[in-house]
Structure 1
Amino acid sequence: MKLLKPALLASAMALPLTGVALAETPDSMLVVAQNIDDIVAIDPAQAYEFTSGELVTNLYDRLVQYDAEDTTVLAPGLASEWTADAEAKTITFTLRDGATFASGNPVTAEDVTYSLGRVIKLNLTPAFILAQLGWTAENVDDMVTADGDTVTVRYEGDFSPAFVLNVLASRPASIVDSVLVMEHEEDGDMGNAWLNANSAGSGPFSLDSYTPGQMVRLAANEDYFNGAPEMQQVIIRHVAEAATQQLLLEQGDIDMARNLTPDQIASLSSDEIKVETFPQAAVHFLSFNQKTESLTDPAVWEAARYLVDYTGMTDTIINGQMEVHQAFWPKGFPGSYDETPFTYDPEKAKQILEDAGIETPIQVTLDVINAAPFTDMAQSLQASFADAGIDFEILPGTGAQVITKYRERTHQAMLLYWGPDFMDPHSNAKAFAYNSDNSDENYQATTTWRNAWAVPDEINEETMAALSESDPETRLEMYRDLQQKVQENSPIVIMFQASYQVAMDADVTGYVNGATSDFVYYRLVDKE
């Protein structure tokens, strides 16, 4: 207990104080403890981390969006209606009346064209999502045009309108207040530096303050077109230690703990605390960088699939948080491939390595986020892989450090997770089954490129063919086939699909945690 007192004191001092220290949180304020050290950027044109996605969703709107009231339905956002012309490859959106930004500025068609063009022109990490539509810095002003209260979006490629709408419902398609952003432009950055410390959205909340690695404070947008949030403020405290999160929750100093371990969840016994479980789209994987020579033999990839103690982990350290899933598109989503052919079999793995003439031991560094449950999972992998002579040296780091290293392709092995960028199977197929240019200069925000895996031509071709397939069921079957091929032979070992457990005060209602980080909503939260 003494070891935790400094962390508890620091967390308590940073929270708003009432008349008594460590008092119950105010009725109009939601206080959340969460590990938020993965945040690299919060500008929606740059934000690409999981926690960043949560913030963008609560600060900004898109033309169409999956909303808190039903995260499975693509609903009107800043557009009240739209008309698609598949033959002309256009979608025309009519903006809703009366929508305003948190600044008080009205949302206009010019804000939409500016925002979508800004993503393409800045060309930061998530720009590829919109660039799929054939948009470039040179043509985007012609591809997205305004006329009064309407916006016409043009696209290139053999896409169905449904695919285009899903792209426009993604994070980088968030609409920013162009007037406010341009006031803070510096050296042609289109307000990027300012938007990484501030917000300029029309969403249910605005950013009151942000201190990287410490705290996020959101303030309710009283004029939100879907109705003002019940909570006047949402405070997200960076608390990396799960044990500290549990103590703060049990003492009433926070309303919600986002990162408790299964053991801690099981140990909660107070009637004042409840646990809610949310299925997640994220898949967890172990990958091998193909720049490391000892990891390039397909026999190593195959053996690795039999060296993961799948059930051992799901029965213990990740019980309730993950289930075995061995394909890149999440179970429960249309087009998923749900076969799980691999089990822990070290003798088989050793035979595979021996038959291929692989000399062991193999020394490999394994990068991992220094937080639960990742460090526990890394230790399990370290123990089980050692049975076949693959020795992991675990390198823990913050989320930002690990992700940055991954993007630079300087790791050897990586324990990480991946969620769809938008709700279409092509999102994960492009990440796990496509890499047509493996050169260092061709940066791609995909796990194939980041692991330097030169995907075989036939898989690249099938991935693009599935994208343009017009028959819905044929298209889904193509994605199932791609998943099976990647499952059988790639340097990416997909192991689990996440289930997310959140412990919260029993009085908290209305919290929505959908299948991805883009579907985390505080708008409907109330404290009865």
Structure 2
Amino acid sequence: MNVSNLLKYCALSMAIGIAIVPNANAITPDDQLVIGMSMDNLLSLDPAAASGLDVVGVNSNLYDMLIELAPKDPSQISPAVAQSWTISDDGTRITFKLRDDVTFHSGNKLTAQDVAWSLQRVLKLNLALASTWKTYGFTADNVDQVVQAIDDYTLEITLPEITDPKLVLYTLGSSPSAFIVDRKEALKHEVDGDLAHTWLTTNVAGSGPFQLQNWRAKDRVLMNRFDDYWREPSEMKRIVMRHMTESQSLRLMLQRGDIDVAMGMSIPDIEALKQDSHIRTEANTRGTLYYVAVSMKDPKFANKKVREAVRYLIDYQGINESIMPNYGVLHQRPVKSGLPATLPGPGYALNVEKAKTLLAEAGYPEGFQTSIRVLSQLPFINIATNVQSTLAQAGINAEIITGTGNQVYGAMRERNFEMLVGRGGGGIEPHPHSSLRSLVYNPDNSDEAKLTNFQGWRTAFYSPDINSIIDTALLEKDAKKQIKMYQDVQNLYDTQIGAIFPISQMVDTVLIRSDVKHYEGHQAATTRLREVTKER
């Protein structure tokens, strides 16, 4: 071990209270799980505001949900805080019967009033995660009437608009907005009517299997076991999550047993560790897509021919072959793969001459200057660099602007960007509407709408025709007709040259020490660590 790596190794070990034994393997304690991961996009712990996969993985172990979706088959719904639920015959009302033995970390009993308040505050705060609920017709004005506690252990949700109730169940089982907050504890910290948003940004009021001990941004998250958890308490007394962005450091620490789980490693390091008998890999295909996006608020990209030129200036095959192994698989549709409605790939490929012709027709024969916003971490930065080089072949000179998740996606949420390499989509919900709602749908293109969780709105792509088909398809009872409508949307999106160009469907590759048992990554990133054990 060289001096630099030794210092990093020692610093990590001392920070999390592990004895330094330079030549020993499996030095993490038997009752602690240590995870190395990037926390660049871990910006807030508040369930009403916390978008991004990083915080979902954290909050899934600090909070409970009404229901849970199976890790490998998200169409399977399991009870959690809600022990049962029924859907009315007309499909407009879902009634949940809650367990009566769930206690928050504060000692308060979890009741239906807490669940109702948690969902209501998402709409009232109107932050990023309110957008999903708005698509179902929930608003700050009606949420108190349509989400109600009938008694302490009965919750009733009346759908404000006709929709598929199963979609609402999928959202309750996967969205970070559906974590249940301790109403009484949170309101102790309310300031100026913020519904405890400021406090919950860095604090937790949950009932999950672990309690937050400490979170230091871009440093670490420490969780201690909650001994009064309503399920069997975890065998792990502590979960330690460390902010680590250097793949070689992750590889070294994992090989030596300084960490138990590593996320976000580079391709060479992942491939090398596949040969290590002490380490196993777990790959989860998620519903989110890596993409290149352009802003149609920029006059250049409002031009359809310019957008089409950009579509021909992405080396989809090259990116997926050289950059995306272990990160993603080639996918060029806004609907995630594996669904009956998903069309075969359109086969877009790099074609510089075609792009030059389109740019000339659009009035940019010499190209133009632009910028690409991107996270500095893998694989985003490598995708951006590749796109930068192929754009340049047609005269588009793009400056790469790196930043944190808040800087990159914040600019997108404010509709203040030109180009961006990002990741988004429908996530876990096994329904075409989920993907299209996230990437394509945009019911109100005004700046005042602030539909920040709709990436169609973020890019200012607006198509009344597409919106109409999506709305109609959601209510179509005939499965074949519904599939045809969703396929029509995909074809129309291609014809209209949408502002988001899917490149690859996300694969999340996690590397795990072989003595760690019962770690099961979730397709929705709601990976729950309560059943993890170590066998040594």
TM-score (norm 2): 0.92
Identical-residue share of aligned pairs (%): 34
Aligned residues of 2:71 and 2:523 also touching (Cα < 8 A): no
Which runs of no fewer than 5 residues in structure 2 stay unpaired?
none
- 1:276-328 deviations in Å (ceiling 9; x for gaps): 22212110110111222222221122222222222222222222321110011
Structure 1 counterpart of 2:28:
25
Query: Aligned AA for 2:164?
Result: S
Distance 1:257 1:183, change over 3 A: same
Matches within 5 A, 1:208-247: 208-247=213-252
Structure 2 counterpart of 1:155:
159
1:452 aligns with 2:460: yes
Structure 1 residue ranges (4+ consecutive) displaced by more than 6 angstroms after TM superposition: none
Query: Aligned AA for 2:117?
Result: Y
Between 40-49 and 299-308, the greater mean CA deviation after superposition = 299-308
SS at match of 2:410: helix
CA distance in 1, matches of 2:397, 2:75: 43
Aligned residues of 1:279 and 1:514 also touching (Cα < 8 A): no
- 1:228-253 deviations in Å (ceiling 9; x for gaps): 22322111101122222112212221
Between 206-215 and 128-137, the greater mean CA deviation after superposition = 128-137
Aligned residues of 1:274 and 1:504 also touching (Cα < 8 A): yes
CA distance in 2, matches of 1:320, 1:116: 36
Question: What is the CA-CA distance between 1:473 and the residue it aligns to?
Answer: 3.5
1:433 aligns with 2:437: no
Question: What is the CA-CA distance between 1:262 and the residue it aligns to?
Answer: 0.9
Structure 1 counterpart of 2:207:
202
Question: What is the CA-CA distance between 1:259 and the residue it aligns to?
Answer: 0.9
CA distance in 2, matches of 1:359, 1:478: 38
Query: Aligned AA for 1:307?
Result: L
1:508 aligns with 2:516: yes
Between 166-175 and 212-221, the greater mean CA deviation after superposition = 166-175
SS at match of 1:44: coil
Matches within 5 A, 1:16-95: 16-18=17-19, 20=21, 24-67=27-70, 71-87=74-90, 89-95=92-98
- In structure 2, which of residues 260, 265, 283 is the aligned counterpart of residue 260 of structure 1? 265
Query: Aligned AA for 1:458?
Result: D
CA distance in 2, matches of 1:292, 1:5: 49
CA distance in 2, matches of 1:280, 1:62: 20
Which runs of no fewer than 5 residues in structure 1 stay unpaired?
none
Matches within 5 A, 1:179-190: 179-190=184-195
SS at match of 2:460: coil
Query: Aligned AA for 1:16?
Result: G
Between 115-124 and 348-357, the greater mean CA deviation after superposition = 348-357
Question: What is the CA-CA distance between 1:215 and the residue it aligns to?
Answer: 0.7
Structure 1 counterpart of 2:425:
419
- In structure 2, which of residues 248, 256, 278 is the aligned counterpart of residue 251 of structure 1? 256
1:497 aligns with 2:498: no
Matches within 5 A, 1:6-17: 7-17=8-18
CA distance in 2, matches of 1:208, 1:419: 32
Between 98-107 and 34-43, the greater mean CA deviation after superposition = 98-107
Matches within 5 A, 1:327-366: 327-366=333-372
Query: Aligned AA for 1:154?
Result: T
Query: Aligned AA for 1:93?
Result: F
Aligned residues of 1:433 and 1:482 also touching (Cα < 8 A): no
CA distance in 1, matches of 2:379, 2:402: 12
Distance 1:357 1:131, change over 3 A: closer
Query: Aligned AA for 1:272?
Result: H
Query: Aligned AA for 2:528?
Result: Y
Query: Aligned AA for 2:112?
Result: A
1:520 aligns with 2:506: no
Matches within 5 A, 1:274-289: 274-289=280-295
CA distance in 2, matches of 1:68, 1:495: 24
CA distance in 2, matches of 1:108, 1:118: 16
Matches within 5 A, 1:104-119: 104-119=107-122
Structure 1 counterpart of 2:413:
407
Between 352-361 and 273-282, the greater mean CA deviation after superposition = 352-361
Distance 1:175 1:292, change over 3 A: same
Question: What is the CA-CA distance between 1:70 and the residue it aligns to?
Answer: 5.7
Aligned residues of 2:336 and 2:432 also touching (Cα < 8 A): no
CA distance in 1, matches of 2:69, 2:198: 28
Question: What is the CA-CA distance between 1:43 and the residue it aligns to?
Answer: 0.9
Distance 1:379 1:34, change over 3 A: same
1:128 aligns with 2:134: no
- Count residues in correspondence: 526
CA distance in 2, matches of 1:175, 1:43: 11
SS at match of 2:472: helix
SS at match of 2:416: coil
Between 219-228 and 103-112, the greater mean CA deviation after superposition = 219-228
Query: Aligned AA for 2:474?
Result: L
Query: Aligned AA for 1:321?
Result: Y
Aligned residues of 2:72 and 2:522 also touching (Cα < 8 A): no
Aligned residues of 1:301 and 1:493 also touching (Cα < 8 A): no
1:487 aligns with 2:494: yes
Question: What is the CA-CA distance between 1:371 and the residue it aligns to?
Answer: 0.8
Distance 1:72 1:512, change over 3 A: farther
CA distance in 2, matches of 1:6, 1:451: 44
Alignment RMSD: 2.2
Query: Aligned AA for 1:241?
Result: E
Query: Aligned AA for 2:179?
Result: S
Aligned residues of 1:487 and 1:494 also touching (Cα < 8 A): no
Between 368-377 and 292-301, the greater mean CA deviation after superposition = 292-301
Distance 1:69 1:388, change over 3 A: closer
SS at match of 1:493: strand
Question: What is the CA-CA distance between 1:357 and the residue it aligns to?
Answer: 4.3
Matches within 5 A, 1:383-394: 383-394=389-400
Structure 2 counterpart of 1:313:
319
- In structure 2, which of residues 338, 351, 375 is the aligned counterpart of residue 369 of structure 1? 375
CA distance in 2, matches of 1:38, 1:145: 33
SS at match of 2:137: coil
Between 61-70 and 157-166, the greater mean CA deviation after superposition = 61-70
SS at match of 1:43: coil
Question: What is the CA-CA distance between 1:224 and the residue it aligns to?
Answer: 3.0
Aligned residues of 1:12 and 1:253 also touching (Cα < 8 A): yes
Distance 1:308 1:8, change over 3 A: farther
CA distance in 1, matches of 2:454, 2:125: 19
- 1:387-424 deviations in Å (ceiling 9; x for gaps): 22222211111222211111111211000000326613
Aligned residues of 2:428 and 2:523 also touching (Cα < 8 A): no
